[in-house]
Copies of this chain bind each other. A is one copy, B any other.
Amino acid sequence: MSVITIERKVLEKNDAIASRNREFFAEREIFTLNIVSSPGAGKTSILERTLEQLEGGLKVVVIEGDVQTDFDARRVARYNVPVVQIITHGACHLEAKLVQDALHKMDVTGADILIIENVGNLVCPANYDLGESMKVVVLSTTEGDDKPLKYPGMFRNAAVLLINKIDLMPYLDCNLGVLRANALQINPSLRIFETSCKTNAGIAEWCDWLRLNVRARSKGADKA
Protein backbone atom coordinates (compact mmCIF):
# COMPACT_ATOMS: atom_id res chain seq x y z
CA MET A 1 0.00 0.00 0.00
CA SER A 2 2.86 2.36 0.78
CA VAL A 3 4.16 1.88 -2.75
CA ILE A 4 0.82 2.97 -4.20
CA THR A 5 0.89 6.11 -2.05
CA ILE A 6 4.35 6.97 -3.25
CA GLU A 7 3.37 6.36 -6.87
CA ARG A 8 0.45 8.77 -6.39
CA LYS A 9 2.86 11.38 -5.01
CA VAL A 10 5.16 10.91 -7.99
CA LEU A 11 2.22 11.41 -10.35
CA GLU A 12 0.98 14.47 -8.44
CA LYS A 13 4.42 16.05 -8.63
CA ASN A 14 4.59 15.22 -12.35
CA ASP A 15 1.14 16.72 -12.96
CA ALA A 16 2.15 19.96 -11.24
CA ILE A 17 5.15 20.37 -13.53
CA ALA A 18 3.04 19.33 -16.55
CA SER A 19 0.64 22.19 -15.70
CA ARG A 20 3.54 24.63 -15.75
CA ASN A 21 4.68 23.22 -19.12
CA ARG A 22 1.11 23.66 -20.41
CA GLU A 23 1.12 27.33 -19.29
CA PHE A 24 4.49 27.80 -20.98
CA PHE A 25 3.07 26.43 -24.27
CA ALA A 26 -0.16 28.46 -23.96
CA GLU A 27 1.71 31.74 -23.42
CA ARG A 28 3.74 31.10 -26.58
CA GLU A 29 0.82 29.62 -28.59
CA ILE A 30 2.71 26.37 -29.16
CA PHE A 31 0.63 23.30 -30.03
CA THR A 32 2.26 20.22 -28.49
CA LEU A 33 2.07 16.56 -29.51
CA ASN A 34 3.17 13.66 -27.30
CA ILE A 35 3.77 10.74 -29.69
CA VAL A 36 3.64 7.31 -28.05
CA SER A 37 3.87 3.69 -29.27
CA SER A 38 5.55 0.33 -28.85
CA PRO A 39 9.20 0.16 -29.90
CA GLY A 40 9.45 0.04 -33.68
CA ALA A 41 5.86 1.05 -34.52
CA GLY A 42 7.24 3.94 -36.57
CA LYS A 43 7.12 7.08 -34.38
CA THR A 44 10.33 8.54 -35.83
CA SER A 45 9.33 7.71 -39.42
CA ILE A 46 5.93 9.36 -38.87
CA LEU A 47 7.76 12.37 -37.47
CA GLU A 48 10.05 12.52 -40.52
CA ARG A 49 7.13 12.35 -42.98
CA THR A 50 5.28 15.00 -40.92
CA LEU A 51 8.30 17.33 -41.00
CA GLU A 52 8.48 16.94 -44.80
CA GLN A 53 4.78 17.83 -45.15
CA LEU A 54 4.92 20.84 -42.80
CA GLU A 55 8.16 22.28 -44.24
CA GLY A 56 7.85 25.93 -45.29
CA GLY A 57 4.56 26.25 -43.37
CA LEU A 58 4.33 25.70 -39.65
CA LYS A 59 7.50 26.03 -37.60
CA VAL A 60 8.27 22.78 -35.75
CA VAL A 61 10.59 22.01 -32.83
CA VAL A 62 11.24 18.48 -31.57
CA ILE A 63 12.10 16.72 -28.30
CA GLU A 64 13.30 13.12 -28.67
CA GLY A 65 12.98 10.68 -25.78
CA ASP A 66 14.96 7.43 -25.74
CA VAL A 67 16.13 4.89 -23.19
CA GLN A 68 19.53 4.95 -24.87
CA THR A 69 21.26 6.39 -28.01
CA ASP A 70 20.70 9.66 -29.92
CA PHE A 71 19.87 7.92 -33.22
CA ASP A 72 16.43 9.53 -33.46
CA ALA A 73 17.61 13.09 -32.79
CA ARG A 74 20.22 12.65 -35.52
CA ARG A 75 17.53 11.45 -37.95
CA VAL A 76 15.33 14.44 -37.12
CA ALA A 77 18.19 16.98 -37.30
CA ARG A 78 18.52 16.25 -41.03
CA TYR A 79 15.24 18.13 -41.49
CA ASN A 80 16.79 21.37 -40.17
CA VAL A 81 14.49 21.68 -37.16
CA PRO A 82 15.64 22.42 -33.60
CA VAL A 83 15.83 19.12 -31.71
CA VAL A 84 16.87 18.12 -28.19
CA GLN A 85 17.52 14.49 -27.25
CA ILE A 86 16.54 13.23 -23.79
CA ILE A 87 18.21 9.94 -22.84
CA THR A 88 16.41 8.36 -19.88
CA HIS A 89 19.20 5.83 -19.13
CA GLY A 90 16.80 2.96 -18.51
CA ALA A 91 13.66 4.81 -17.43
CA CYS A 92 10.59 3.65 -19.33
CA HIS A 93 8.81 6.97 -20.02
CA LEU A 94 9.33 10.73 -20.25
CA GLU A 95 8.26 12.88 -17.31
CA ALA A 96 7.18 16.53 -17.29
CA LYS A 97 10.41 17.55 -15.53
CA LEU A 98 12.57 16.11 -18.33
CA VAL A 99 10.54 18.10 -20.89
CA GLN A 100 10.84 21.23 -18.73
CA ASP A 101 14.64 20.76 -18.64
CA ALA A 102 14.76 20.20 -22.41
CA LEU A 103 12.78 23.42 -23.01
CA HIS A 104 15.54 25.36 -21.22
CA LYS A 105 18.04 24.00 -23.73
CA MET A 106 16.20 25.01 -26.90
CA ASP A 107 15.00 28.20 -28.58
CA VAL A 108 11.26 27.85 -29.17
CA THR A 109 10.75 31.45 -30.32
CA GLY A 110 8.13 31.54 -33.07
CA ALA A 111 7.46 27.79 -32.90
CA ASP A 112 3.95 26.66 -33.90
CA ILE A 113 4.31 23.00 -32.92
CA LEU A 114 6.43 21.07 -30.47
CA ILE A 115 6.51 17.36 -31.23
CA ILE A 116 7.68 15.17 -28.34
CA GLU A 117 8.59 11.61 -29.29
CA ASN A 118 8.24 9.50 -26.15
CA VAL A 119 10.12 6.33 -25.21
CA GLY A 120 8.88 3.24 -27.09
CA ASN A 121 6.47 1.76 -24.55
CA LEU A 122 2.74 1.17 -24.88
CA VAL A 123 2.14 1.05 -21.10
CA CYS A 124 3.99 3.51 -18.84
CA PRO A 125 3.89 6.80 -20.82
CA ALA A 126 0.06 6.70 -20.67
CA ASN A 127 0.10 7.91 -17.05
CA TYR A 128 2.61 10.74 -17.38
CA ASP A 129 1.20 14.06 -18.57
CA LEU A 130 3.94 16.19 -20.16
CA GLY A 131 1.72 19.26 -20.61
CA GLU A 132 0.95 18.33 -24.23
CA SER A 133 -2.09 19.45 -26.24
CA MET A 134 -2.75 15.83 -27.20
CA LYS A 135 -1.31 12.35 -27.20
CA VAL A 136 -0.94 10.63 -30.57
CA VAL A 137 -0.64 6.84 -30.39
CA VAL A 138 1.02 5.03 -33.29
CA LEU A 139 0.16 1.34 -33.70
CA SER A 140 1.76 -0.81 -36.37
CA THR A 141 -0.46 -3.24 -38.27
CA THR A 142 2.22 -5.86 -37.49
CA GLU A 143 1.33 -5.68 -33.78
CA GLY A 144 -2.11 -7.18 -34.34
CA ASP A 145 -5.71 -5.98 -34.08
CA ASP A 146 -6.16 -6.94 -30.39
CA LYS A 147 -3.73 -4.38 -28.98
CA PRO A 148 -6.22 -1.58 -28.07
CA LEU A 149 -8.02 -4.04 -25.76
CA LYS A 150 -4.78 -5.41 -24.30
CA TYR A 151 -3.20 -1.98 -23.65
CA PRO A 152 -6.30 0.19 -23.10
CA GLY A 153 -4.69 2.98 -21.04
CA MET A 154 -2.79 4.43 -23.95
CA PHE A 155 -5.77 4.36 -26.33
CA ARG A 156 -8.06 5.89 -23.69
CA ASN A 157 -5.71 8.85 -23.15
CA ALA A 158 -4.90 9.56 -26.80
CA ALA A 159 -6.79 11.90 -29.16
CA VAL A 160 -5.41 10.40 -32.36
CA LEU A 161 -4.52 6.88 -33.49
CA LEU A 162 -2.22 6.42 -36.47
CA ILE A 163 -2.50 2.85 -37.76
CA ASN A 164 0.92 2.63 -39.37
CA LYS A 165 2.63 0.28 -41.85
CA ILE A 166 -0.61 -0.33 -43.74
CA ASP A 167 1.56 -1.25 -46.76
CA LEU A 168 2.25 -4.56 -44.95
CA MET A 169 -1.45 -5.51 -44.68
CA PRO A 170 -1.36 -8.06 -47.54
CA TYR A 171 1.22 -10.11 -45.60
CA LEU A 172 -0.42 -10.01 -42.14
CA ASP A 173 -3.28 -11.62 -40.19
CA CYS A 174 -4.50 -8.21 -39.04
CA ASN A 175 -8.11 -7.12 -39.57
CA LEU A 176 -8.34 -3.33 -39.91
CA GLY A 177 -12.09 -3.34 -39.19
CA VAL A 178 -11.53 -5.24 -35.95
CA LEU A 179 -8.59 -3.01 -35.01
CA ARG A 180 -10.67 0.14 -35.55
CA ALA A 181 -13.64 -1.30 -33.63
CA ASN A 182 -11.40 -2.33 -30.72
CA ALA A 183 -9.81 1.13 -30.57
CA LEU A 184 -13.19 2.90 -30.69
CA GLN A 185 -14.58 0.55 -28.02
CA ILE A 186 -11.88 1.88 -25.66
CA ASN A 187 -12.14 5.49 -26.85
CA PRO A 188 -15.11 6.42 -29.08
CA SER A 189 -13.74 9.91 -29.81
CA LEU A 190 -10.40 8.68 -31.13
CA ARG A 191 -9.54 10.21 -34.54
CA ILE A 192 -8.02 7.45 -36.70
CA PHE A 193 -5.72 7.71 -39.72
CA GLU A 194 -4.22 4.79 -41.68
CA THR A 195 -0.65 5.60 -42.64
CA SER A 196 2.43 4.21 -44.35
CA CYS A 197 5.80 5.91 -44.18
CA LYS A 198 6.92 3.82 -47.14
CA THR A 199 4.13 4.73 -49.60
CA ASN A 200 3.18 8.03 -47.84
CA ALA A 201 -0.44 6.81 -47.66
CA GLY A 202 -2.48 8.85 -45.18
CA ILE A 203 0.37 11.26 -44.34
CA ALA A 204 -1.15 14.25 -46.18
CA GLU A 205 -4.57 13.65 -44.52
CA TRP A 206 -2.95 13.42 -41.06
CA CYS A 207 -0.95 16.62 -41.67
CA ASP A 208 -3.99 18.50 -43.03
CA TRP A 209 -5.88 17.56 -39.84
CA LEU A 210 -2.90 18.60 -37.73
CA ARG A 211 -2.68 22.03 -39.45
CA LEU A 212 -6.41 22.61 -38.85
CA ASN A 213 -6.00 21.78 -35.17
CA VAL A 214 -2.98 24.01 -34.74
CA ARG A 215 -4.91 26.91 -36.31
CA ALA A 216 -8.01 26.23 -34.25
CA ARG A 217 -6.33 25.74 -30.90
CA SER A 218 -3.61 28.37 -30.98
CA LYS A 219 -4.43 31.92 -32.05
CA GLY A 220 -1.63 31.80 -34.62
CA ALA A 221 -3.86 31.07 -37.63
CA ASP A 222 -2.13 33.79 -39.65
CA LYS A 223 1.25 32.12 -39.14
CA ALA A 224 0.23 28.98 -40.98
Contacts and interface: CB of A to CB of B under 8 A. Distances in A.
B153 A67 contact: yes
A142 interface: yes
A3 B204 CA distance: 44
Contacts of A67: 123, 150-153
A124 B90 CA distance: 8
A121 interface: yes
A140 B141 CA distance: 12
Interface string A137-167: 0001011101101111100000000000101
**9 tightest Cβ-Cβ pairs between the two chains A and B:** A40-B143, A92-B123, A142-B142, A38-B38, A38-B39, A39-B122, A40-B144, A92-B124, A69-B150
29 contacts: A3-B10, A38-B38, A38-B40, A39-B147, A39-B150, A40-B143, A40-B144, A66-B150, A67-B152, A68-B149, A68-B150, A68-B151, A71-B146, A90-B127, A91-B123, A92-B123, A92-B124, A119-B123, A120-B123, A120-B150, A123-B124, A124-B124, A142-B142, A142-B165, A142-B168, A167-B171, A168-B168, A168-B171, A168-B172
A28 B147 CA distance: 36
A146 to B, nearest CB: 6
A6 interface: yes
A120 B38 contact: yes
Interface in A78-93: 90-92
A122 B120 contact: yes
A147 B40 CA distance: 8
Interface string A46-81: 000000000000000000001111010000000000
B90 A120 contact: no
Interface string A3-45: 1001000100000000000000000000000000011110000
Nearest to A2: B6
Contacts of A149: 68-69, 71
A151 B38 CA distance: 12
Interface in A110-148: 119-124, 127, 140, 142-144, 146-147
